[in-house]
């Protein structure tokens, strides 16, 4: 990988910056079981990304709009008790994907662009994207510092909370909002379908090794940074986006840690 090339530098910087919310908010995403929510926010943005590409507006803006729309629709459907939460989410996601591909076949050439939107691209990152990620990373640090005690205290389970008609407290709304914003800036690097590989997988891997929040946060950040750098190298070598590369790397590390800790537990119990 050519470290002198601007696109490589931007990609590396982006992944390092993303490691911060991956560690800081990823910890809460894993502890509070928000993996599916973060995946849904990313996936649902697909039609927004298609329109943004056609109309020439910033993809992050479109993604934020669809995230909002998705959240409102999902909450509305489940709060009214007319559809079960997992059915509502599944339907909204598949509807968003179908709408996106229909729009794409009319406005954009079905091909490389769709692949880029779904799976990210190294080359497509602009300086503006990186600056935005830096701002969100800083914001994530501030949010976590302010809210971590509340997030620990409130027992929050999105599925059952909504099913019971309970209004999530303000603290939990902030966690959801923060997760959505981070997903939005992550998706141009890793792709709309693979937001979980940066926001969930590193934190989940470290979660297998520790129960304590401090080490979990630091470990997830460090692991996300290391995997991110390796992913850029791999993605550049194979000429793919950072998302799939990170998925393979992160998944492999997770599998190794899972097997190792399971064997250790069995050996310890024997």
Partner 1 sequence: MLAWLTDPLASPVIQRALAETLLLAVACGPLGVWILLYRDAYAAESLSHGMLPGLVLAALAGAPLVLGATAGVLVAAAGIALVGRDARLGSEIGVAVVVSSLLGLGAILALAPETPPRLAELLFGDLLGVDATDLAVAGVLAVAVALALAGAYRPLVLTGFDRGSARALGAVPLRWELALLVLLGATTVAAVQGLGNLLLLALILAPGAAALRVCRRLSAALALAAALAALAGILGLLLSYHLEIAAGAAVALSAVGIALVSVPLGGRPAH
Nearer CB in complex with partner 1: 35/63: 35
Q: How far is the CB of 122 from partner 1 (least distance, A)?
A: 12
Nearer CB in complex with partner 1: 34/63: 34
Express the helix, strand and coil content of the chain in percent, nearest 5 each.
Answer: 80, 0, 20
Q: How far is the CB of 82 from partner 1 (least distance, A)?
A: 5
User: How many whole angstroms separate alpha carbon 218 and alpha carbon 224?
Assistant: 10
User: How many whole angstroms separate alpha carbon 103 and alpha carbon 110?
Assistant: 10
Residues making contact with partner 1 (CB under 8 A): 30, 33, 35-36, 39, 77-78, 80-87, 89-91, 93-95, 97-99, 101-102, 105-106, 110-111, 114-115, 118-119, 163, 191, 193-194, 196-197, 200-201, 204, 207-208, 238-241, 243-248, 250-251, 254, 258, 262
Q: 155-159 long-range CB contacts below 8 Å, 24 or more apart? A: 156/32, 157/32, 157/33, 158/33, 158/34, 158/37, 158/85, 159/85, 159/86
Q: Tokens 């009319």 belong to which residue?
A: 106
Nearer CB in complex with partner 1: 33/173: 33
Nearer CB in complex with partner 1: 82/173: 82
Nearest residue to 186 via CA among 65, 68, 26: 26
Q: How far is the CB of 124 from partner 1 (least distance, A)?
A: 14
Nearer CB in complex with partner 1: 66/89: 89
State the CB neighbour count (10 A cutoff) for residue 82: 10
Q: How far is the CB of 260 from partner 1 (least distance, A)?
A: 13
């Amino acid at each position: 990988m050519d470290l002198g090339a601007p696109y490589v530098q931007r990609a590396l910087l982006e992944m390092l910056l993303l490691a911060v919310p991956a560690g800081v908010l990823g910890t809460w995403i894993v502890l509070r079981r928000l993996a599916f929510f973060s995946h849904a926010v990313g996936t649902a943005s697909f039609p927004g990304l298609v329109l943004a590409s056609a109309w020439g507006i910033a993809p992050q803006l479109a993604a934020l709009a669809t995230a909002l729309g998705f959240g409102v629709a999902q909450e509305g459907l489940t709060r009214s008790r007319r559809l079960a939460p997992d059915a509502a989410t599944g339907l909204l996601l598949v509807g968003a994907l179908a709408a996106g591909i229909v729009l794409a076949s009319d406005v954009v050439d079905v091909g490389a662009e769709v692949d880029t939107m779904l799976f990210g691209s190294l080359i497509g990152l602009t300086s503006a994207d990186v600056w935005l990620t830096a701002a969100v990373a800083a914001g994530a640090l501030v949010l976590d510092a302010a809210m971590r005690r509340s997030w620990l205290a409130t027992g929050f389970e999105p599925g059952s909370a909504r099913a019971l008609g309970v209004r999530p407290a303000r603290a939990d709304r902030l966690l959801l909002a923060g997760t959505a914003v981070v997903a939005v800036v992550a998706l141009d690097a890793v792709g709309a379908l693979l937001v979980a590989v940066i926001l969930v997988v590193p934190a989940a891997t470290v979660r297998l090794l520790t129960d304590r929040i401090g080490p979990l946060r630091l470990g997830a950040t460090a692991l996300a940074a290391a995997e991110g750098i390796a992913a850029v190298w791999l993605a550049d070598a194979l000429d793919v986006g950072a998302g799939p590369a990170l998925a393979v790397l992160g998944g492999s590390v997770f599998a190794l840690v899972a097997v190792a800790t399971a064997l250790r537990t069995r050996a310890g119990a024997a």
